[in-house]
Structure 1
Amino acid sequence: MAVNMLRNGSVGSAGRLSSIPTPLQPRAGPTKRGNIAFSKRFTRRLLEARNATTSSGNSSSEERQEAVKVAVPTPGLDPATQFSSLANAFGRRLLVGTAAAAAVALGGNLGGITSLLLGLEPAYSRELKLDVVYPVNGYKRCLDTANHFEFVYPSSWVGDQRLLYRAVAKAEKERLVGLLQVQNPGRPQQIARDPIVAFGPPGSNGELNVSVMVVPIPTNFKIEKFGDPKQTGEVILSKFIVPRSSNIAAVLIDAKKTEDYLTNQKITYYNLEYTVQSPTFFRHNLAIYTVFDGKLYTLNAQCPEALWPALKGRFYEMADAFKLSVD
């Protein structure tokens, strides 16, 4: 059926392909550079096709004939041999082309077809940020161009939940106010009341979520002033996570530093993993702190400790994908 649609140059009255890119001629074998170039061309054509209003009447008979050209079999070779020689050249293009045709024909991700095909090349799909629109390997990307950050989260999670926002904001506000006052004693700090974004499972009460807060800070604020990541983690846990004289216990499990570059400026990330336990809850947290352009960024992902063994892979995926971005 997909072959017939491509040959006819149409996908029904609801949406028609005015023209289809001419298939590339087979070659001896794919190269990495060629694969990357093809993926980028596919992405550009996919986005153009989704945004364009097409009409079957715009296609000439010559364009239709050009669109359905196929490789001519080599005389004297049996079908199995010919297929083997063409498989490498056309295998990946067939998959990517099918994804493009599905996106144009269906206008979305009906049945998860587009996500499935993009998942065959997850690195390229994520590099081109196609996961902002379609889930790739079970994750979607949150790309906040206004605040210059991005990360991925499970595609089944939803955002903008009132209970989730309130639960996360209260804890983060107390934590960040104290953190800033250590470097600027006696100076009151105004902290945003809500996270910039927050995602969690449908119906979540805030115990299982990922959120990002962006807080204006003094220009002289440097997270490195606290010391290395372990020293910083101990300060944050002892002074801001666990209130003095409380029955809450926090344990730092891991602390590390990662670095990246944004507009030729080195960005330092402090990555903390810790647990927080009280008589009424026991949570496992991943938190990332970084500073850029007079703002303190914090990603916090938390879940009940009982769920951590099953969900830790997802949480590491979210934390590892968090970075500042100018895209």
Structure 2
Amino acid sequence: MAVSSLSLSLASTTLPNRLNVSPYQHPKVLLCSGCERVMCCLPAVRNSKRRPLLMGVGALALSLLPASSLLAEEIPANYDAFVDKADGYSYYYPSDWRDFDFRGHDSAFKDRYLQLQNVRVSFIPTDKSDIRDMGPMEEVIYNLVTHVYSTPTQVADIFDMQERTIDGKNYYTFEYTLTSPNFSRAAFASIAVANGRYYTLIVGANERRWRRVRNKLKVVADSFKVLDI
């Protein structure tokens, strides 16, 4: 894995945009630490709540998606793995977080007590084949934070940018904050291109808690992978 990083602080003024996803939810698979159980989510109508069905590791689950073929690395302690083979991505999330419906996103998990502490993934179609095709890392991230993630009343700061390469696929991962007159949120984002899709994972929290949870959420951002479909 090749990694390069640099730091940058920026300010911005633009409007957020929630990415649209395909009109169908495909089956998902959630693997807990140690792969002791498998949860398969049935297909859901767009914008409706997912209805998870808890299942043991049996013939049906294994025929859908063998756990051993999905995760070459052991899942970190206190994290579970979310794997969406149909839509082509996976990531880790804290094991005490709960699945929830985040409009315009393909999957999402949140802290059971702190709803602003969450992770979500979305994707849109693209004719690009690699994140590098979107442009230089600094330019792509700057445009995202200033023209997609922030509003006219927010100040955006980008603290770090990293390019990662995993299994021949490239990712841009960055840390940023959005500060409003009465509120501030911090987050990591990981973006990648594969399967004719532009994928975005965002994991964040209230900035007042950021020092306490930053390292925990960095694991989530760094675990994001796109899969061939």
TM-score range, shorter chain: 0.5 to 0.7
2:140 to 216, 229, 232: 232
- Higher fraction of strand: 2
Q: Tell me whether 284-293 or 226-235 shows the greater mean CA deviation.
A: 226-235
Distance across 1 between alignment mates of 2:148 and 2:57: 48
Contact map agreement 1:229 1:271 (CA 8 A) in 2: no
Going from structure 1 to structure 2, the CA distance change for 1:326 and 1:222 (only over 3 Å counts) comes to: closer
Q: Please identify the structure whose Cα radius of gyration is greater.
A: 1
Going from structure 1 to structure 2, the CA distance change for 1:280 and 1:324 (only over 3 Å counts) comes to: same
Distance across 2 between alignment mates of 1:227 and 1:295: 16
Q: Give the corresponding residue for 1:197.
A: 107
Tell me the TM-score normalised to structure 2 length: 0.64
Instruction: For residue 127 of structure 1, report the CA deviation from its aligned partner.
Output: 2.8
- Determine if the alignment matches structure 1 residue 301 to structure 2 residue 207: no
Tell me the TM-score normalised to structure 1 length: 0.46
Instruction: For residue 224 of structure 1, report the CA deviation from its aligned partner.
Output: 2.7
Aligned length: 167
Q: Give the corresponding residue for 1:140.
A: 80
Alignment of 1:144-183 (within 5 A): 144-160=84-100, 162=101, 165-166=102-103
2:120 to 203, 211, 218: 211
Using the aligned pairs only, state the percent identity. 24
Contact map agreement 2:106 2:121 (CA 8 A) in 1: yes
Q: Give the corresponding residue for 1:254.
A: 160
Aligned letter for 1:199? F
Contact map agreement 2:117 2:205 (CA 8 A) in 1: yes
Contact map agreement 2:195 2:228 (CA 8 A) in 1: no
Aligned letter for 1:151? Y
Distance across 2 between alignment mates of 1:201 and 1:325: 26
Instruction: For residue 280 of structure 1, report the CA deviation from its aligned partner.
Output: 2.7
Aligned letter for 2:215? G
Contact map agreement 1:230 1:254 (CA 8 A) in 2: no
Alignment of 1:1-327 (within 5 A): 51=58, 127=72, 131=75, 136-160=76-100, 162=101, 165-166=102-103, 194-205=104-115, 207-217=116-126, 219-220=127-128, 223-225=131-133, 227-243=135-151, 246-261=152-167, 266-326=168-228
Aligned letter for 1:156? D
SS of equivalent to 2:132: helix
Instruction: For residue 303 of structure 1, report the CA deviation from its aligned partner.
Output: 0.5
SS of equivalent to 2:86: coil
Instruction: For residue 50 of structure 1, report the CA deviation from its aligned partner.
Output: 5.8
Q: What are the superposed Cα offsets for residues 58-90 of structure 1, whole Å, 9 maximum, x if unpaired?
A: xxxxxxxxxxxxxxxxxxxxxxxxxxxxxxxxx
Going from structure 1 to structure 2, the CA distance change for 1:323 and 1:227 (only over 3 Å counts) comes to: same
Runs of 4+ aligned structure 1 residues displaced above 6 Å come to none
Of the two structures, which has the highest relative contact order with CA contacts closer than 8 Å and spacing of 6 or more?
2
Pairwise CA RMSD of aligned residues? 2.9
Going from structure 1 to structure 2, the CA distance change for 1:326 and 1:224 (only over 3 Å counts) comes to: closer
Aligned letter for 2:72? E
- Higher fraction of helix: 1
Instruction: For residue 242 of structure 1, report the CA deviation from its aligned partner.
Output: 2.7
Instruction: For residue 284 of structure 1, report the CA deviation from its aligned partner.
Output: 0.7
Contact map agreement 1:247 1:278 (CA 8 A) in 2: yes
